[in-house]
Structure 1
């Protein structure tokens, strides 16, 4: 009985809390008690939270500070939850929208549609405020949220809907008029659903699941094809001179937004008619029909690339790169290069389409030993061009079967067009290989699984993909739950398995230490260099400290980094981040990346710190993870993050810090707190990436001529020279000299290492450590005075 009394009292307190919060949002003279300074809104029901949100929406910028603070607390509490709304709350929300629109000239109509979707009872009659809202909106010169406006107009009756559709179709061109007619004819629920993809401006895009739901609407899918083909027809007409050419005026702003939405739906569905359309549309918007360096629609070209950042396909990526080489405007290729980095990262997350590669008339032919790659031979005059694919595509020439060192002079003189075409082909193939590698590696976070039969023919047997795929370790499900790992480059025969058996990339996080060591030994023994780090891949597991902090990790916090270098790495690895600097709002941000096909998000917090000469510094902070729950991101405990997703995300953050930290700068001389950090971090405990480097060195060192002068000791590679003994840190590559641990500054040349040491994966820091070891083992032969002075000072 006592327990029942406690539960009842707790519920009364919760009701009292909801009532106090409601009064705080509606009565400017009411002040919350001290105990409610930080109210625990988890005690408020979803329905009570909905009513509070409606009240919070009515609190404007002129409200007292205490009222505004409650509003912010309620809105924060709603993030990651799904509030519910009583019929009365729904009615009040529409009244609030009218008030906002009358007072400020605009209100978010999608809020009104949201509350109706989550109404807990019979839908209230909101036709009056809906009619008022539509009237207010149609008085404006520019109408935002047209899809939502049509849905709201439908609530006001058929007459209001017809009036809204007529107004929205006026002077907007046939593409947008077709769009409006399609939306107006849909059922209210379908209108509400599509309103989520109608962006306020084309530089923002909803979450992926919103597009997924919209892509299932047959009427909109049919419109998407009509719209995109109409756009291609228009660019064809401009090229033919049937429509006068005006720079960047081929499409209106609204048409560009509409076409961007249509393209995203078609890309998400991976429509088979898209590749042919790209061949018409992209050159049509990027190349003027005259010799002008302007574009028919630079804005639509960039919108197409933004659509590719959301839902890329290999064919679209290839078409963008082709246009990038032909566009005449000097600034466009640079902008496309920046945008394509995000496209490549997004394609890596879309494994179901990313692995498509055209054969381009290549045959599979032996390339030295047992390896096989793609080769294309094409006669050009009396000579023959040979394009060979191994790690990359290369163009060589031969005559009568004899290889030549360079392009023959007669070919260069008489066949300029075929030479250019072949060079463009090499660039195209190399771009596709880069995309394939990014796609394969990105498949780790989605645990991408492929049918064995398709993998054999479209990857392992593909003339372009073959040499990359054969050097990776794969797991084949030979029986339910039983996976067998193979390395095609070293295995003569692949296991027998049906075509519908599953195959996936092997990841060390799923194997024991002995298995990982065996694969690493095999790579060194067979001198197999992997396209990306796989057998030597770092593993990041949850630490006791992270179990204590629960929802955030401080593993990579409190580092000082070269900010612009780190910002460039964000872009290269597909992370989103605002540029920081000494301006309002530029002091801090969270770089973020979505993983596991959009189901998880990682955020890496960092702040702008200071200038160091002409360089900008930033300091690093927490890493947090969010799970997608219905329509919102919800912060998740680190223990709930799938281990593979956690490991891959932390690997990126380790890369950002390791490469851009000032601790890795060998000639850092500034004083103050930055110098204190440099001295601490330059020789700190090893991170997972440095541990993987140490593991590789254990295998590589015995193969070196200087092996008898090198030993590994904890976090250092010890190198015995003739003049002194040196300790090279395996994380920063910085050097201390025995016996007094004096610092030795060696600034690396642009190309580190002599290229003669085989490495099983690409790692600039490992190459740098080896090059320093080879130099210092023969220190008596060093001629660089800047190095000799430092060595001899304490020798």
Structure 2
């Protein structure tokens, strides 16, 4: 992985700012890395420490903005002249940290695109006016997608295994709306995600006219609009829950939004919009809340959704696990079985759902509630994309593979009762 880095001296210490997937600040003495900010530096060079921390924060924001801007180009099929891209993006001292770890496509002949990963090879020779665009798996066959993911994992390069969302037979039948994301969610968490992902929506609540709303996002440079419907749950109590429903699309024609059948939505626009919606419900659904203990309709949904068929995002997580598990020190205790990671402990055998990270115990599928601390990978467990649920699954797998070493008596009691 190529990184950009530079340093500053502070007494006998060196501050090193590195830029890779994100920006970081470390301290060294005599070329040896230190665990934190040296006390002498904190005491005598406080202004420099603050200056560098602010710099790292600003660079991190800039890298995040660049990543979102590049992703936003998918729905408009953004292309760049190769000469400009090579100098201003792939060659930029900061942007290169993001750009060079992504797969790109260069149009070598009209209509023929060659994929390239700058991090893994030298930039090819091509005319300055050749076109370059960010590679998307929806444009490739499954074999090519698998090959790229194998390479990214092998080279320990973090790039999102971008999910593909295609029109389903059920959506062909409903024609103008999708019902695939009907869930029960924590509304305020979802509302925060709406804002973070550029969707406009009102806050639901116990006041007039706020029982239901639609989250709206404009895509493809204003040509397309997606709407995601949701409503306040009447029996939500203090949890501020909401139900989610239909996803609909509209196209701007003569200055007016006109709803269109899903089959008429460009595949990339449809896939990117549905990816956002899957993120919203996947992160905020109560099915992903292992502490959920309420009864009634909420519990019935929790039990059903917590072990349901995998969504596209969970399928991408499963594909990542296929590559990760054989590399782990607990590989001989883990296997994949449909929707689950099966972990063989000494006290019991466990099934971790790849979608929710909830746990069942064999042979009777007794539910086991565990909320472990996140296992720090310290470079040993490489995750091919950033995903809190993937980290949580691996954390639970490591814990359960060594279940005789668990010291929490409440967890041990539940394991022995269930087994």
TM-score norm. by structure 1 comes to: 0.51
Q: Deviation at 1:706?
A: 1.8
- Kept in 2, the 8 Å contact 1:753–1:768? The answer is no
Cα gap change, 1:752 to 1:583, in 2 (>3 Å): farther
Match of residue 154 from structure 2:
525
User: Is 1:551 the equivalent of 2:176?
Assistant: yes
Counterpart pick for 2:144 among 511, 515, 528: 515
1:613, CA displacement in angstroms? 5.0
Q: Which residue in 2 is equivalent to 1:623?
A: 247
Preserved CA contact (<8 Å) 2:153 2:323: yes
CA contact (8 A) 1:754 1:771 kept: no
Q: Say if 1:382 and 1:791 are closer, same or farther in 2 by CA, change over 3 A.
A: closer
CA deviations on 1:160-196 (whole Å, 9 max, x unpaired) are xxxxxxxxxxxxxxxxxxxxxxxxxxxxxxxxxxxxx
Distance in 1, matches of 2:343 and 2:224, equals 44
Which SS does the other structure have where 1:426 is aligned?
helix
Q: CA deviation at 1:411?
A: 5.2
Structure number having the greater helix percentage: 1
Unmatched 5+ residue regions in structure 2? Answer: none
Q: What's the counterpart of residue 430 of structure 1?
A: 60
Q: Which of 92, 113, 125 is the aligned partner of 1:483?
A: 113
Contact 1:381–1:411 (CA under 8 A) maintained in structure 2? yes
The question of 1:730 aligning with 2:359 is answered no
Residues 345-360 of structure 1 mapped to structure 2, 5 A cutoff:
none
Note if contact 1:610-1:616 (Cα within 8 Å) is conserved in structure 2: no
Q: Please state whether the residue corresponding to 1:422 is helix, strand or coil.
A: helix
Which residue of 1 is the match for residue 217 of structure 2? 593
Root-mean-square deviation (CA, aligned residues, Å) is: 2.0
Equivalent position of 2:187 in the other structure = 563
Equivalent position SS for 1:388: strand
1:451-502: CA deviation from partner (whole Å, max 9, x where unpaired): 11111111111111222211111101111111000111111x2221111111
- CA 611–413 in structure 1, closer or farther in 2 if over 3 Å, else same: same
Change (3 A) 1:414 1:670: closer
Higher Cα Rg: structure 1 or 2?
Answer: 1
Secondary structure of the residue aligned to 2:346 is: coil
Aligned residue for 1:731, secondary structure, equals coil
Alpha-carbon contact 2:105-2:115 (below 8 Å) kept: yes
* 1:537 corresponds to 2:167: no
Partner of 2:382: 758
Cα separation, 2, equivalents of 1:613 and 1:778:
39
Which whole-Å CA distance do the structure 2 matches of 1:483 and 1:577 have between them? 38
Closer, same or farther in 2 for the Cα pair 1:692/1:408, shift >3 Å? closer
CA 1:772/1:414 → structure 2, altered by over 3 Å: closer, same or farther?
Answer: closer
SS at match of 2:299: helix
- For residues 322-401 of structure 1, what are the structure 2 equivalents within 5 Å? 371-378=1-8, 385-397=15-27
Q: Distance in 2 between matches of 1:691 and 1:404?
A: 40
Q: Give, in angstroms, the shift of residue 381 of structure 1.
A: 6.3
Measure how far apart 1:419 and its partner are.
4.1
Matched, 1:678 2:273: no
Q: 2:80 aligns with which of 436, 445, 450?
A: 450
3-state DSSP of counterpart to 2:124: coil
1:461 maps onto 2:85 in alignment: no
Given that residues 470 and 488 in structure 1 are in contact (C-alpha distance below 8 angstroms), is that contact kept between their aligned partners in structure 2?
A: yes
Verify the 8 A CA contact 2:359 2:367 in the aligned structure 1.
yes
Aligned-residue offset at 1:396 = 4.1
The answer (yes or no) to whether the contact 2:77–2:133 under 8 Å persists in 1 is yes
The residue aligned with 1:609 is 233
Residues in 2 aligned to 1:768 and 1:598: alpha-carbon distance in whole angstroms: 37
Determine which of 577, 584, 592 is the counterpart of 2:201: 577
Match of 2:103 in 1: 473
Give me the whole-angstrom Cα distance separating, in 1, the residues matched to 2:10 and 2:335.
55
1:401 deviation in Å?
6.0
**Cα shift at 1:672:** 1.2
Tell me which of the two structures has the higher relative contact order, counting C-alpha pairs closer than 8 angstroms and 6 or more residues apart: 2
Alignment check: 8 A CA contact 2:236 2:242 kept: no
Task: Give 1:647 shift.
Answer: 0.3
Match of 1:647 among 267, 271, 286: 271
What are the Cα deviations for residues 413-445 of structure 1, in whole angstroms up to 9, with x where unaligned? 555444433332222212211111111222222
| DSSP 3-state at the match of 1:602 | strand
1:593 positional shift:
0.6
Q: Shift in Å at residue 794 of structure 1?
A: 3.5
| 1:714 CA drift (Å) | 1.2
Do the aligned partners of 1:562 and 1:618 also contact (CA within 8 Å) in 2? yes
Distance 1:401 1:785 in 2: 45
Contact 1:375 1:463 in 2 (8 A): no
Which ranges of structure 1 fall in alignment gaps of 5 or more residues?
1-370
After superposition, what is the alpha-carbon deviation per residue over 1:652-705, rounded to whole angstroms, capped at 9, x for unaligned? 111111111111111211111111111111111111111111111111111112
Cross-structure match for 1:55: none
State the partner residue of 2:126. Answer: 497
Are the aligned partners of 1:753 and 1:770 in contact in 2 as well (CA < 8 Å)?
no
Q: Within 5 Å, give how 1:40-51 maps onto structure 2.
A: none
